[in-house]
């Protein structure tokens, strides 16, 4: 408990940030779902190219985990994590932070607006996160964002791995 109070106190000391600088990223994908998946971060923009070999249907989920590195530490502490139903977010008319990010990505890619997503070539080219889409509770610092995509129940034998993406970014004060 004390550890979390210290982390919370340190976060309050940081100035509020809203300029995102993408630094680097990595990915790992299942050959069961993708023929290829490439993630590139260059000049503070994110690009992805993927060739899917089977449809993505209801039940496609993602664990999104935001972590911050405090000070000069190489260790990351969780800020928040949430498991999402990807198809529900994509097709929802209700707005939330994840839907806003997806809509921003649609301007730079050819993703489908609903499920099922058929097999084919999909891309995201030169996407940069608009500073207006950074939550006000995110403070300046070094972040690691992990996205773990899967079917089934997370961390069980029924989990069917689809894709892991890790992006390192820095939030700077405006």
Using CA atoms, how far apart are residues 75 and 54, in angstroms rounded to an integer?
37
pLDDT at 18: 59
Block means of pLDDT (10 residues each) for the chain, 174 residues, are 32 50 96 97 95 95 94 88 88 71 86 88 92 78 96 96 97 82
- pTM reported for the whole predicted model: 0.84
Looking up residue 48, the CATH number of its domain turns out to be 2.70.220
H or E stretch at 12: helix 2-13
Residue 14 gets which letter from DSSP?
A: S
Residue 120 lies in domain: 2-173
And the tokens for 1?
């408990």
- Which of 75, 51, 79 is CA-nearest to residue 139? 79
Say how many residues make up the chain.
174
Using CA atoms, how far apart are residues 20 and 28, in angstroms rounded to an integer?
23
Count of domains observed in the chain: 1
């Amino acid at each position: 408990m004390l550890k979390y109070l210290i982390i919370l106190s340190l976060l309050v000391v940081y100035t509020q940030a809203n300029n995102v600088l993408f630094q680097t990223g990595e990915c790992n994908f299942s050959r069961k779902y993708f023929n290829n998946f490439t993630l590139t971060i260059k000049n503070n923009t994110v690009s992805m190219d993927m060739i899917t070999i089977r449809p993505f249907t209801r039940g496609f989920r993602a664990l999104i985990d935001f972590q911050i590195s405090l000070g000069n530490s190489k260790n990351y502490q969780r800020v928040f994590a949430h498991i999402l139903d990807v198809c529900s977010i994509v097709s929802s008319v209700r707005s939330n932070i994840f839907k806003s990010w997806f809509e921003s990505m649609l301007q730079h890619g050819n993703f489908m607006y609903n499920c099922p997503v058929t097999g084919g070539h999909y891309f995201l080219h030169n996407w940069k996160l608009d500073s207006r889409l950074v939550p006000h509770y995110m403070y300046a610092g070094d972040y690691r964002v992990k996205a773990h995509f899967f079917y089934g129940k997370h961390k069980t034998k029924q989990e069917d791995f689809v894709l892991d993406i890790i992006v390192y970014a820095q939030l700077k004060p405006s």
